[in-house]
Structure 1
Amino acid sequence: MTFDRENLLQQVRAQMTEHRFIHTLGVASTAEALAKQYGADPEEADLAGILHDYCKFWEREKMEEIIQREESISAVLLLYDKELWHAPVGAYIVERDLGITNQNVLDAIRYHTSGRKNMTLLEKILWVADYIEPGRQFPGVDEIRELAHQNLNEALLKALGNTLMFLIKQKKRIYPLTVEAYNGMLADLQETR
């Protein structure tokens, strides 16, 4: 897989704030490092990290219109927090507008906010990298960072649990894929113990 990294970085930078671009670089480098540690493709991880927030700052109406129009994106998403929207919209847009056709990368982008049951290795890596990149500072992030270097699945389970608790405390509806991701990861880990 080859891609023009510098050109993509310029296109990504034009879509977001400087703060979010720094986050994006942190996610890309963290994802690449985790890919090397856990045997995933580092180039795919870097690409997914670069592109994961491509639509993060798009107007709500623009994302809503894409979700309603595109059959590949579940309109049920509109019933949940708009913070979830940029992931599936982003996967659609980077394929359509940037010509990214690698399904592993597209799926990692698509599920980096919600997760899902039976996540692929790259999906897990991007989800965790987005959670622990060096710019993130919130209670519990250091524990997840440490776990991520010991056991990716344990780190993902803990991060998903933290996310669920945060959403519950905020009295936000929880997207079903996130619950399925947590339950699936918990079942997988219990089987291996």
Structure 2
Amino acid sequence: MNKQQALSLVKPHLTETRYLHTERVVETALALAARFHVDPEKAMLASAFHDYCKYRSLDEMRQLIEDSDQLPLHLLDFHHELWHGPVASILVETELGIKDRAIQSAIYWHTTGHANMTDLEKIVYLADYIEPGRVIPGIEHVRRVANYDLDQAVFLACKNSIGFLVSKSRKVYPETLNLYNDLVGTI
């Protein structure tokens, strides 16, 4: 599947604003993949479909999480914004035929991250965070670091995300803390 085919498949599932975000994430992921020697086709597909389920009904996502033996039930204990990645990782296979586990995993973890991420997972996580349309405190520094150090850029994005959640007195997903702890000793 080429980039235009992937984007045309995801477009009906997104708002216009989210679709434009997705186009920018794809371009950012492709640039990162080239910079850090990651398979560009996998980076393109994972980034194109990272928000595939962003606008599914909460009831549908909740039901899929409850019924799936592939998704942890504790997802339901966290903000519903975390649900769309794991749900999409399953539905891209059943609805679109994308069976590549590396692509599915990058979609699954694009919001939370986890310890010992693959470079593909890091690229989709980071591309979603630094795409040019994002306006987030500290993002310019993360974008600069992403030009030369994938791990440090992911660490900074994770650190900023945790800081934001803590400032809003919101729960932090345990795997996000695991990502932070995994990288803090290497940066």
Does TM, normalized by the shorter one, top 0.5? yes
Shift of 1:103: 1.1
Shift of 1:86: 0.2
Dislocated runs of 4+, deviation >4 Å: none
Counterpart in the other structure of 1:43: 41
Shift of 1:36: 0.5
Mapped contact 2:125–2:154 kept (Cα < 8 A)? yes
Mapped contact 2:3–2:44 kept (Cα < 8 A)? no
Counterpart in the other structure of 2:159: 161
Pairing of 1:100-179 with structure 2 (within 5 A): 100-179=98-177
> In the TM superposition, what whole-angstrom CA distance separates every residue of 1:106-137 from its partner, at most 9, and x where no partner exists?
10000001101100000001111000001111
Shift of 1:7: 3.1
Counterpart in the other structure of 1:25: 23
Mapped contact 2:88–2:107 kept (Cα < 8 A)? yes
SS in 1 for 2:13: coil
Total equivalences in the alignment? 187
The one-letter amino acid paired with 1:21 is: Y
Shift of 1:4: 4.3
CA distance in 2, matches of 1:12, 1:87: 14
Q: Percent identity between the aligned chains?
A: 40
The one-letter amino acid paired with 1:138 is: I
Cα RMSD after superposing both structures = 0.9
SS in 2 for 1:174: coil
CA distance in 1, matches of 2:130, 2:104: 21
**Alignment gaps of 5+ in structure 2:** none
> In the TM superposition, what whole-angstrom CA distance separates every residue of 1:37-80 from its partner, at most 9, and x where no partner exists?
00100111011110000000111111001000011010100000
Counterpart in the other structure of 1:61: 59
Shift of 1:8: 2.6
Shift of 1:5: 3.5
1:95 aligns with 2:84: no
Counterpart in the other structure of 1:185: 183
**Alignment gaps of 5+ in structure 1:** none
The one-letter amino acid paired with 1:142 is: E
